[in-house]
Amino acid sequence: MDWQQLLDVASEAADAGGQVLSKHWRSLNQIRSKGRPGDLVTEADLAAEAAVLKVLAERTPEIGVLAEESGLSKGSSAELQWCVDPLDGTTNYAHGFPLFACSVGLLHQGKPRLGSVVAPGVQQHYRGGHGLGAFCNGQALQVSSCNRLMDALLVTGFAYDRREVIDNNYTEFCHFSHLTHGVRRGGAAALDLAFVASGSLDGYWERGLQPWDLAAGVALVEGAGGVVSDYDGQALDLSNGRVLACPQALQQPLMEGLAQCQPLPPELYNARITPPSP
């Protein structure tokens, strides 16, 4: 199996999606909700996905695809599957905030193997994978050498159902904000992982994610020498939506911190605010 050739396909497909996102940037005609507050889809998501799928169908017709907007299409390969997020960070994109990306990852036997993340808003093209290294705009990447939480800059995100469930990441955000240099919330999981791969951020955790959110970014972190796991250090399970990505030296302190956190009572964050009378 030629992993480098497949990485080239992932890069070509992500580039195609990224070009569509650039075309629609700041000129959207339609923004609609998928049902939950903040869970948006635009004509750019749909057009970018079509561009990505066209490349994948032409270059690797035997490999099935799991795509955010169009769902699952099966191929003849039993071991490989593409995971496509045509616009990771749709809310950012819809508001004109430049942290968004087109993400194309490849699973091998259900595990992230390689991928590409193209971020037109910051003019960055990431590519790499397990055993392939990781690169941004042609420059080799390496996860940071940070080995203490007190020196770390972390990143996380909040799931769309955060208003509806107690398991929503608020406690962890506060906990790590006190123990580190800070916690950022970028709003695009693929880019959060890419920034960990580049060493710009030292660690990332999040819950409520889908395989298309994770496949490419996880491969980048592993390609850059980082570790990716579940919250308890076990092998990443894409089906449970939880991920912890960081340099090896930070994995244990991050796991311990996550284990210490208990959910906030809903009444502390779910209060209804009555707007003032006109």
The tokens for 98 are 């430049």
Question: In the chain, what is the greatest distance between 2 CA atoms, to the nearest angstrom?
Answer: 66
Cα distance between residue 95 and residue 108, in whole Å: 35
Amino acid in the structure at residue 160: Y
Same domain, 168 and 97: no
DSSP category for residue 63: S
Question: pLDDT at residue 275 above 50?
Answer: no
Task: Give the pairing type, strands 243-246 and 71-73.
Answer: unpaired
Cα distance between residue 155 and residue 217, in whole Å: 14
Which of 234, 276, 270 lies closest to 251, judged by CA? 234
Q: Output the domain CATH number for residue 120.
A: 3.30.540.10
pLDDT at 44: 85
- Please check whether residue 144 lies inside any domain of the structure: no
- Please check whether residue 272 lies inside any domain of the structure: no
SS3 81: strand
DSSP string, 82-97: EEEEEEETHHHHHTT-
| Intra-chain end-to-end CA distance of the chain, in Å | 66
Same domain, 163 and 198: yes
SS3 267: helix
pLDDT at 278: 46
Residue 206 CB contacts under 8 Å (≥ 6 apart), including other chains: 156, 157, 159, 169, 189, 192, 242, 243
- Please check whether residue 141 lies inside any domain of the structure: no
Same domain, 125 and 164: no
DSSP category for residue 24: H
Q: How high is the mean pLDDT of the chain?
A: 90
pTM above the 0.75 mark? yes
* Count: domains in the chain: 2
The C-alpha R_g of the chain, in whole angstroms, comes to 18
- Please check whether residue 275 lies inside any domain of the structure: no
Burial zone of 212 (CB within 10 Å; 0-12 exposed, 13-18 middle, 19+ buried)? buried
pLDDT at 170: 86
Same domain, 12 and 127: yes
Same domain, 156 and 62: no
Position 262 confidence tier, pLDDT thresholds 50, 70, 90: confident
Q: Of 71, 105, 132, which residue is a domain's last?
A: 132
Burial zone of 122 (CB within 10 Å; 0-12 exposed, 13-18 middle, 19+ buried)? exposed
- Please check whether residue 265 lies inside any domain of the structure: no
Position 93 confidence tier, pLDDT thresholds 50, 70, 90: very high
Position 185 confidence tier, pLDDT thresholds 50, 70, 90: very high
Whole-number percent of the chain with pLDDT over 90? 77
Q: Output the domain CATH number for residue 207.
A: 3.40.190.80
Amino acid in the structure at residue 106: L
Higher pLDDT, 45 or 152: 152
pLDDT at 158: 87
Question: pLDDT at residue 37 above 60?
Answer: no
Per-residue pLDDT tens digits for 211-252: 999 999 999 999 999 999 999 999 999 999 999 999 999 999
Q: Of 82, 100, 132, which residue is a domain's last?
A: 132
Range of the domain at 213: 149-260
Cβ(114)–Cβ(97) below 8 Å:
no
Position 276 confidence tier, pLDDT thresholds 50, 70, 90: very low
Higher pLDDT, 213 or 29: 213
